Amino acid sequence: MEPLRIRRATMTDLDAIATHNLAIARETEGASLDRELVTEGVCAVLEESRGATRGTYFVAERDDAIVGQLLVTHEWSDWRNGWYWWIQSVYVAPRARRSGVYRALHAHVVEHARRAADVLAIKLYVDRDNRAARDTYAALGMKHARYDLYEIDLNRG
């Protein structure tokens, strides 16, 4: 078995990432997302060759197959004059779980963030019923934040 390789995703990963996003929604929320809409959403991120204003996907690859992914998006903090990085769309293929794939993706993002002088923290939100993911984030040293999340859903897809 080849070693795990973490790399920035490209347009050739579009189908794999869209498929994984559908699988995350199914597995963690019992939700069935619209494949066309998800594919357009992933494509919008991947087509930015510069700037990465919508975000950056990282994928974990082993033996020429993508076994894990995450998306990093950015939020500016005017209070602290720097960036928060948000981790989204976390997925590891079931056959590859508990072998350190997410640990490697997490470490890759943390290292990138440490090298960028203006990143203040790395954050994410997780369904409170997703025990496996919550245990994973805690095991990797992430602390439970003191904020609750509020939203207004405009029901646009």
Ligand X SMILES: CC(C)(COP(=O)(O)OP(=O)(O)OC[C@H]1O[C@@H](n2cnc3c(N)ncnc32)[C@H](O)[C@@H]1OP(=O)(O)O)[C@@H](O)C(=O)NCCC(=O)NCCS
* Cα separation, 109 vs 123, whole angstroms: 11
**Cβ–Cβ under 8 Å, residues 30 and 129:** no
* Cα separation, 113 vs 107, whole angstroms: 10
Which one of the spans 4-12, 33-41, 73-81, 86-94 is the region binding ligand X (CB under 6 A)? 86-94
E-strand stretches of 9-64: 56-62
* Cα separation, 57 vs 69, whole angstroms: 7
85 scored as a contact of ligand X (CB under 6 A): no
73 scored as a contact of ligand X (CB under 6 A): no
135 scored as a contact of ligand X (CB under 6 A): yes
Comparing CB distances to ligand X, the nearer of 116 and 140 is: 140
Comparing CB distances to ligand X, the nearer of 50 and 143 is: 143
122 scored as a contact of ligand X (CB under 6 A): no
* Cα separation, 11 vs 154, whole angstroms: 29
31 scored as a contact of ligand X (CB under 6 A): no
Using CB under 6 A as the criterion, which residues of the chain lie in contact with ligand X when the complex forms?
A: 24, 27-28, 90-92, 97-103, 126, 130, 132-133, 135-136, 139
